[in-house]
Structure 1
Amino acid sequence: MRVLILGAGAVGGYFGGRLVEAGADVTFFVREARSRLLAERGLRIESPLGDMNLAAKAVFDPKALTAFDLVILTCKAYDLDESLETIAGAVAPGTGVLPLLNGFAHLDRIEARFPEAKVFGGVAQISATLAEDGVVRHFGERNRLIFGVRDGGPDERLTALEAIYARTSVAATFVDDVERRLWDKFVLLATLAGITSMMRASVGDILATPSGERLIRLLLAECESVARAQGWTPSPEFPELLSILFVRGSALKASMLRDIERGGRTEGEHILGDMLARARRARLETPALEIAATHLRAYEASRASGGTNFA
C-alpha cells in the first residue's frame, strides 16, 4: 500500500514517522524548505516512547505526484483548499483520503473536491509540536489514532493501516463509529481551545483560580449541548478524554493558544466558529461559546490589520 502524507509537522511527521519505522511505503508531500531539511537531517522525532531519526521520502513538486492508495491529510484547516489542489495528482478514483483535521467542516470540502475518492474519518490524539529546528517533539505518552469508514463499513486499506501501526508504539484503532469519535474530539477540543485561548493560560493555571473549573464546565456543557442537538451520544471513552481538562497543575494548553502566542493564524473559525454556527442553527443559547469564538475572531481581525497580536 502506497501512502502519501500531506505535511511532516507535528501530526504528519509523528504518525508518518511511525509508519516509516514499521517499514511502510510512505512519501511526505511538504514545502520545498522542509523537503531539503528532511533530505539533509532526516525526519527527527523526540518522544518519551523512543527517539527516531529516519530517512524519509519527501517531494514538494505537485507534478511529481502519481496516484496513491491512501492519502493522509495533516494540514491546518486554513490551508486545506490550497492543499487539496496541490495534491490532486495523488488522488485517483477510489483513492482513500484520511483527514486528521479537527472538527467536521473539512469533510464536505474534501468530498466536493474529490467526489470519486473514498473520504474516511480520522481522529489524532497527541500533544506534539514542530520545533524551529525541524524536530517533531512529542509530549507525554498519548499517541493514538482512531479511523473508520464514515458509514461504518469495512475497508482493506484501513485494515492494513491498523496492522502496520500494530508494529509500532501508536495505539491505532479501526472503528465502526468514527463519526461519534469525531464528535467526542470536537467537543473536547472546542472546550480546551476556547478556554485556554481566552484565558491565555494552561489548564493548571486556569484551575488554580476560584472560577476556573466552573468556567471550563460551563463551556463544556454548551459544546455538549450542540453535539447532542446533532444526534451525538458520547463514546464509552469520552469521560477519559475529558479528564485532561481537570488535572490540577497541568501544563496543557491547546495548540490554538500556542499559535496565538507566536502571533500566527489559528483554526478558530474551523473549530469555535463552526461549533457556534451549529448552536445557532439549533437555536441554542451558548454565551460562553460565543465569547470564545468572538475572542478568536477579534484576534484574527487585529492580526489581519497589523495590530497587536494579543500575545
Structure 2
Amino acid sequence: MKILVVGAGATGGYFGARLAQAGQDVTFLVRPRRAAALRERGLRITGPAQPQDEVITPQLLTADELSHPYDLILLSVKSTALKQALDDITPAVGPDTAIVPFLNGMAHLDELNSRFGTGPVLGGVAKVVTTVDANGDIVRLAPLAAITLGEQNSPTDSPRTQAIHTALTEAGITTTLSPAIVSAMWHKWVFISTLSAVTILMRGSLAAINAVPGGADLGPAILAEAAAVAAAAGYPVPEPELAATTGMVTQTGTLTVPSTSMFRDVESGQPTEVEHIFADLTARARTYGVPTPLLDLVTIQLRVHETQFKH
C-alpha cells in the first residue's frame, strides 16, 4: 500500500512516523519550509508521554513533485490549509484511492465530497494529544493515540477499510472500524468544541475553572448546547459519552485532561480553526433552530482573536 500523509505536523507526523517505522511505504506531502526542516533534523517524536525520543528519515514531497496516484491518503492538515491541500493532492487521487481525513468538525467532509465525490472519501476520527514545538519536533503530551475510520454510506466493513485497518494495526496504532463513522465524527466534534470552548472562554485549565464558584457549571452548559446541535442533525451523543465528557469538563484537583490544541493556539498567539470548529457548528445550529449562546460567544471571541492575523 502506497500511503501519502498530507502534512507532517502534530497528527499526521505522529501517525505517519508510526507507519513508516512499521515498514509501510509512506511519503509526507509538505510545504518547502517544512521539508527543509525535516531533511535537516529528521522527523522527531519526543515529550512526556514518549518512552524515549525517536527519529526517522521521512520520504518527502512538495506539491510540485506530486505526479501519481496513491492507494491511501491520510489528510491531516488544519482546516485553514484545507483548500490548498485539496488542490495539492488532486494528482494523487486515482480511481482506487482512499482518502481518510483527520480534521475536526464536518465541513471538510462536505468539501472533500464536492471535490472528489463520495467514492474515494472515508470518514475518520483521530485522537492523539500531540503538538509541534519550536524546533518542529512532535511532542507527545499524553499516551492516547487512536484512529477510527469507516465508509461514509455503508454500515459494513469494506475490503479497503479492512486493508487500512491492517496497516494501521500492524504499526501499533489502536484502530477501530466504525459502521457509523459520520456519527463518530459528530460526537468528537461535540467533545472537542466543548473542551475548547470552556478553556478558551475562561483562559484557564479545567481544574482552575472548576475550582472557582460557578465554574463547574460552564462545561455542562456548553456540552448541552453542542449535543443539542448534534441531536438536531440526527446524530445524538450516547448517554455514556455525555457522562464521560461531563466528568472531564468538571474535573477538579490534579489536572488529568491536557488542554486542546485550539486553546494552545490561542495561548501562543496563533491563528485558530474557529470557522471550521465553532462558526460552522453555530451556523448549523441556526438552521435547526437550536439556541447556542455560549458557543456563539466563543465564536465571536475567536473571530476577534483572528483579526490580528489579517493585517
TM-score normalised by L of structure 1: 0.92
Deviation sequence 1:109-131 (CA, Å, 0-9, x none): 11111127511111111111011
Report deviation, 1:21.
Answer: 1.5
The runs of 5 or more residues in structure 1 that have no matched partner are 306-311
Q: 2:140 is matched with which residue? A: 138
Deviation sequence 1:67-118 (CA, Å, 0-9, x none): 0011110001011011111121111123111100000011111111112751
Which of 165, 172, 184 pairs up with 2:187? Answer: 184
Q: How does 1:216-255 map to 2 (within 5 A)?
A: 216-235=219-238, 238=241, 239-240=243-244, 243-248=247-252, 249-250=254-255, 252-255=258-261
Q: 2:293 is matched with which residue? A: 287
Residue aligned with 1:4, SS: strand
Report deviation, 1:219.
Answer: 0.6
Q: Distance in 1 between matches of 2:238 and 2:71?
A: 30
Partner letter of residue 40 of structure 2? Answer: E
Q: 2:130 is matched with which residue? A: 128
Residue aligned with 2:289, SS: coil
Taking only aligned residues, the RMSD between alpha carbons, in angstroms, comes to 1.8
Report deviation, 1:44.
Answer: 0.8
Q: Distance in 1 between matches of 2:250 and 2:125?
A: 22
Moved over 6 A (4+): none
Q: 2:305 is matched with which residue? A: 299
Residue aligned with 2:11, SS: helix
Q: 1:44 is matched with which residue? A: 44
Q: Give the total of aligned pairs.
A: 305
Partner letter of residue 92 of structure 1? Answer: G
The runs of 5 or more residues in structure 2 that have no matched partner are none
Q: Distance in 1 between matches of 2:189 and 2:287?
A: 17
Q: Tell me the percent identity.
A: 34
Structure 1 residues 116 and 195: alpha-carbon distance in aligned structure 2, compared to 1, 3 A threshold: closer
Report deviation, 1:23.
Answer: 1.1
Which deviates the most, 2-11 or 189-198?
189-198
Does the CA contact (< 8 Å) of 1:180 and 1:235 recur in 2? no
Partner letter of residue 223 of structure 2? Answer: L
Deviation sequence 1:150-208 (CA, Å, 0-9, x none): 12343323212222222344211111111111111000111111111111112122112
Q: 1:278 is matched with which residue? A: 284
Residue aligned with 2:213, SS: coil
Report deviation, 1:33.
Answer: 2.1
Partner letter of residue 170 of structure 1? Answer: I
Does the CA contact (< 8 Å) of 1:91 and 1:117 recur in 2? no
Partner letter of residue 281 of structure 1? Answer: T
Residue aligned with 1:71, SS: strand
